[in-house]
A and B are shown apart, each in its own frame.
Chain A
Amino acid sequence: MTTVPSKLYADDVSLLMVLIDTNPFFWSTVKNTFTFSNFLSHVLPFLNSILLLNQLNQVVVIATGYNSCDYIYDSSLAAPNQRAESLLGKLEEFVTRDEELSQQNSIEGVWSSLLSGSLSMALCYIQKVFRSGPLHPQPRILCLHGSPDGPGQYVAIMNSIFSAQRSTVPIDSCVIGSQHSAFLQQASYITGGVYLKPQQLEGLFQYLSTVFAADLHCRSFLQLPKPVGVDFRASCFCHKNTIDMGYICSVCLSIFCKHHKKCSTCGSVFGQAQTNVASASDRKRKTTET
């Protein structure tokens, strides 16, 4: 990192970790009006404007692919006059590598991106910035995501969210797909970030620059979009379905969508068929106490 006089590091210096969804399955489904290159032509000026807003701002871009994730741009390493070139070069390399990996194994089920991997990488990077000393830019994560949630990543994504919450790193999400993302809704809600699903993708740059460009200090003065409700449903461990009512193992808190005889996670055998016993004793307790 460049050495700068300490007084320049005010609370409005940002480190923006941008996670870009490069899932080819997602980009092949979006309408012709908004292609991946269109998307990049909105994102690149946004990244440039972040870097111009404050000379100390830093931008790191991580590509979230179908088979892998990787860093594709770091403004503290790249030459300032070749931003777009170095980013696009790395991105192209990444996309071809990702494609090679997908030829090796067949595609099954939902085609979700590896959001948990890129989130974990971003958090590791942020920890490095925290370690660099008492003066560091304020980090935040921006997910530009379109692919549907992969229920198999539920535990990993939740772990990342709690770790981000503990180190007070907000996760902002901008959903460019047609569906709301329950994972990102929870991520933004828990970490105090902004969740936005733009109505018109043609104006993506405008959404990005008005909502996500302001640093954390300025945010408290802005009227940012309010969440339209958060989907707190969980996905069950047995079929990876998203459910709003289910059974919880009392030993390990695993979630199941229907009644089982034995917990597949911790191996405990369940006694009574229903919870009536438990809730009955619960109620008894309340009456005896009052």
Chain B
Amino acid sequence: MNNFEHREINNGEGKRYTREEEIEEDEEDEDEGNGRGLDAWERAYADERSWESLQEDESGLLRPIDNKTLYHAQYRRRLRSLSSTARAARIQKGLIRYLYVVIDLSRAAGEMDFRPSRMVVVAKQVEAFIREFFDQNPLSQIGLVTIKDGVAQCLTDLGGSPESHIKALMGKLECSGDSSIQNALDLVHDYLNQIPSYGHREVLILYSALSTCDPGDIMETIQKCKRSKVRCSVIGLSAELYICKHLCQETGGSYSVALDEPHLKELVLEHAPPPPAIAEFAIANLIKMGFPQRAAEGVISICSCHKEAKVGGGYTCPRCKARVCELPTECRICGLTLVSSPHLARSYHHLFPITPFDDVSHSRLSNSRQKRPITCFGCQLSLLNQVNMPSPCVVCPKCKQYFCLDCDIYIHESLHNCPGCDSFRQSMSSSRTEE
């Protein structure tokens, strides 16, 4: 996903707009019945804003904007703010999360300020969020709740399979009636009270309505959530509401209102990385777990979960040697929690983040041009541009290797390893022990 975004941006504005256009076309099919919106030829000018991707250079010629450096600067700002908050909060993260996503399907969700409608846009973003969430929080679970006609309904129970949630959500996209925050919180609170003490309880509410229609005193419910340490966050789709802000402040969550669809996506995905653990929210504990080995293909054995003979695949519990089909699970025979180590390792980059690289300033470039390498350490791309002048690059503060801007983004967003630090023994041992 990172990779895709990344490439799209490098190919420049032109490509991005063609993609939007495709989406436009899709939408057109859906809202044809409504007879609404601009004509296609008008839309091409209103939405594409093709003039914005050009700028005048010193000789008066039109040139496409070099948005690669712009994008990179933006990305660096984000990285810096992230790493400073991470520093402040240490590396305690709530990695075992139990999250309920509450989706408002009241009348307001049918509004069409987001196209084709708020609920379709929300459903799309929730789908992306669920996938990203399980990628980043391997042992966590999600449940879905909808609010409709003033009543909160549990769509799916807490579970770890993204597909089942997405399927359930896509089948239930209708909106009607009023919305009630209190009913939703009461329902979620009852469910979250039953999870183990080491888990982090969280609620993410995607709220379209501008009011809440509650059967009782919502302030009491908010206090109840606060007492049971449920962290509530709200993303609004219309305007800021006092009650939502109050709820988030009381329970330690975050409140934000989306401006448009890309902003909504950004806000929703902000909730995917684990939040810094707040010490009192969950009791730290050591959990005993086993790491089963995967058996050879073609071996026949009886699995303990379905009690059937199966060929190949399957994992062996290290304590009682029983065979199970899927991970993660709990051994049926001895009760040991079984996980695969790659499952856990997916989240380790949160624990050992790599330091942001430093910009190489232009003055330093001209001073030390003779000893500066001419290729990026990662991808061997030449760090000189067409006229043999040094192009912008970054340097790792630990191993002093130079990287091009694209590698910088890839290393911090997807790889989470510094190739320079990892390929020199001294620097590697020092960098890992520091953390």
Interface residues of A, Cβ cutoff 8 Å to B: 66-71, 74, 101, 105, 114, 116-118, 120-121, 123-125, 127-128, 130-131, 152-156, 158-163, 166-167, 186, 189-190, 226-234, 243-256, 259-260, 263, 265-272, 274-275, 277-279, 281-282, 284-285, 288-289
Residues of chain A contacted by B219 (CB below 8 angstroms): none
Interface residues of B, Cβ cutoff 8 Å to A: 1-3, 6-7, 10, 90-96, 138-139, 157, 194-199, 277, 279, 282-298, 315, 318-319, 330, 335-337, 339-342, 344-352, 376-381, 406-407, 410-411, 414-419, 422-426, 428-429, 432
The answer to whether A252 touches B196, judged by C-beta atoms less than 8 angstroms apart, is no
> Known: A124-B378, A233-B341, A271-B285. Contact between A69 and B423, CB under 8 A?
yes
- CA distance in complex: A245, B410 (Å): 34
Residues of chain A contacted by B199 (CB below 8 angstroms): 250
Q: Which 7 A-B pairs have the closest CB atoms?
A: A117-B423, A124-B378, A234-B341, A250-B198, A268-B284, A69-B423, A117-B422
A46 CB to closest chain B CB, in angstroms?
Answer: 22
Interchain CB contact (< 8 A) of A68 among B292, B335, B337, B423: B423
| Cβ-closest chain B residue relative to A133 | B11
The answer to whether B297 touches A267, judged by C-beta atoms less than 8 angstroms apart, is no
- CA distance in complex: A130, B11 (Å): 11
The answer to whether A127 touches B92, judged by C-beta atoms less than 8 angstroms apart, is no
- CA distance in complex: A228, B294 (Å): 9
Q: What are 11 A-B residue pairs whose CB atoms fall within 8 Å in the complex?
A: A117-B422, A121-B423, A131-B7, A155-B345, A158-B342, A158-B346, A248-B339, A249-B286, A251-B282, A256-B286, A259-B286
Given A127-B410, A243-B291, 6 other A-B residues pairs in contact with their CB atoms under 8 A: A68-B424, A114-B428, A128-B381, A230-B294, A232-B294, A289-B194
The answer to whether B422 touches A114, judged by C-beta atoms less than 8 angstroms apart, is yes
- CA distance in complex: A14, B345 (Å): 30
The answer to whether B424 touches A117, judged by C-beta atoms less than 8 angstroms apart, is yes
Residues of chain A contacted by B377 (CB below 8 angstroms): 121
Interchain CB contact (< 8 A) of B91 among A228, A233, A265: A265
The answer to whether A268 touches B196, judged by C-beta atoms less than 8 angstroms apart, is no
- CA distance in complex: A288, B193 (Å): 12
| Cβ-closest chain B residue relative to A115 | B422
The answer to whether A233 touches B291, judged by C-beta atoms less than 8 angstroms apart, is yes
Residues of chain B contacted by A272 (CB below 8 angstroms): 285
| Cβ-closest chain B residue relative to A263 | B284
> Known: A160-B417, A232-B291, A266-B90. Contact between A253 and B286, CB under 8 A?
no
B195 CB to closest chain A CB, in angstroms?
Answer: 7
| Cβ-closest chain B residue relative to A117 | B423
B106 CB to closest chain A CB, in angstroms?
Answer: 28
| Cβ-closest chain A residue relative to B194 | A285
The answer to whether B340 touches A247, judged by C-beta atoms less than 8 angstroms apart, is no
The answer to whether B291 touches A245, judged by C-beta atoms less than 8 angstroms apart, is yes
Interchain CB contact (< 8 A) of B378 among A66, A121, A274: A121
> Known: A114-B422, A160-B415, A189-B294. Contact between A253 and B348, CB under 8 A?
yes
> Known: A265-B91, A266-B90. Contact between A246 and B285, CB under 8 A?
no
Residues of chain B contacted by A278 (CB below 8 angstroms): 196-198, 285, 287
- CA distance in complex: A149, B420 (Å): 19
- CA distance in complex: A189, B3 (Å): 21
A65 CB to closest chain B CB, in angstroms?
Answer: 9
Interchain CB contact (< 8 A) of B415 among A124, A246, A265: A124
> Known: A105-B426, A130-B7, A232-B340. Contact between A154 and B195, CB under 8 A?
no
> Known: A127-B410, A268-B279, A279-B335. Contact between A229 and B295, CB under 8 A?
yes
The answer to whether B406 touches A248, judged by C-beta atoms less than 8 angstroms apart, is no
Interchain CB contact (< 8 A) of B290 among A117, A186, A189, A245: A245
| Cβ-closest chain A residue relative to B426 | A105
Residues of chain A contacted by B91 (CB below 8 angstroms): 252, 265-266
The answer to whether A159 touches B415, judged by C-beta atoms less than 8 angstroms apart, is yes
A44 CB to closest chain B CB, in angstroms?
Answer: 21
Residues of chain A contacted by B352 (CB below 8 angstroms): 155
Residues of chain A contacted by B346 (CB below 8 angstroms): 158, 162
Interchain CB contact (< 8 A) of A128 among B197, B350, B406, B422: B406
Residues of chain A contacted by B139 (CB below 8 angstroms): 253
- CA distance in complex: A275, B196 (Å): 11
The answer to whether B297 touches A281, judged by C-beta atoms less than 8 angstroms apart, is no
| Cβ-closest chain A residue relative to B404 | A128
B412 CB to closest chain A CB, in angstroms?
Answer: 11
> Known: A120-B417, A124-B419, A278-B285. Contact between A130 and B194, CB under 8 A?
no
- CA distance in complex: A123, B425 (Å): 19
A73 CB to closest chain B CB, in angstroms?
Answer: 11
A2 CB to closest chain B CB, in angstroms?
Answer: 16
Interface centre among B91, B319, B339 (most CB of A within 10 A): B91
Residues of chain B contacted by A265 (CB below 8 angstroms): 91, 351
The answer to whether B284 touches A152, judged by C-beta atoms less than 8 angstroms apart, is no
A242 CB to closest chain B CB, in angstroms?
Answer: 9
The answer to whether B1 touches A131, judged by C-beta atoms less than 8 angstroms apart, is no
Residues of chain A contacted by B428 (CB below 8 angstroms): 114, 116-117, 152-153, 156
B174 CB to closest chain A CB, in angstroms?
Answer: 27
The answer to whether B422 touches A251, judged by C-beta atoms less than 8 angstroms apart, is no
Interface centre among A114, A152, A245, A272 (most CB of B within 10 A): A245
The answer to whether A271 touches B284, judged by C-beta atoms less than 8 angstroms apart, is yes
The answer to whether A127 touches B351, judged by C-beta atoms less than 8 angstroms apart, is no
- CA distance in complex: A120, B432 (Å): 16
- CA distance in complex: A155, B425 (Å): 15
Residues of chain A contacted by B335 (CB below 8 angstroms): 279
The answer to whether B419 touches A121, judged by C-beta atoms less than 8 angstroms apart, is yes
The answer to whether A268 touches B92, judged by C-beta atoms less than 8 angstroms apart, is yes
- CA distance in complex: A270, B409 (Å): 37
Residues of chain A contacted by B3 (CB below 8 angstroms): 127, 130, 166-167
- CA distance in complex: A67, B422 (Å): 10
The answer to whether B414 touches A166, judged by C-beta atoms less than 8 angstroms apart, is yes
| Cβ-closest chain B residue relative to A276 | B288
